[in-house]
Structure 1
Amino acid sequence: MRTAETPAGISQSEAARKYGVPQQLISRWVKQGLIRVLRPGGRGRPYELVEEDIARLAAIYHEEAARSPHGFKGRWIRKLLAERFLDELRSYGL
């Protein structure tokens, strides 16, 4: 049951379509702990993820992609996104 304090949830596939981010990247972010999981998946049921977390990371992802003349190639993007997201969390005192 949702309360006013419970964040909105979204599945990985919905998030990939809505925010224009590869589903595999969202899966990586979940494994890295950058996205909170409201309900774990299993037996054909999708994960329910915190949409706010995905929106923040997708914004960073698209911002950095626009800056880079070659787009995202290589593994540095994971580190960059993790650093930017953690910096943002620290600014909120978390």
Structure 2
Amino acid sequence: MTPTDPHPPSLAERAVSRRIAGAEQSARAEVDALLDAGLKLMTECAPRPPRVADIVAAAGLSNDAFYRAFSGRDALGVVFKCHAHIRSDARVTAAW
């Protein structure tokens, strides 16, 4: 409840907020695991990009988890390139 809002959130609104917060935390953990696994594998596979099957296996996740986060391997490559550009990471630029 805020000072300008005389109506406190309903029990349903609070339940939805908790559910959203939990889903966001879970999604962030999955994406972080996929990014970490992909970067690790990229250094091992260079100059070829890693396969999705290898990334999900290394992350301990499913293909469904990968495709919830990314539309495909190329989308993951774009994320890596953006981060590599920011950090000037030559490993990523060379592999993708």
TM-score by length of structure 2 reads 0.26
Question: Which structure has greater helix proportion?
Answer: 2
Q: Which has the larger radius of gyration?
A: 2
Question: Which structure has greater strand proportion?
Answer: 1
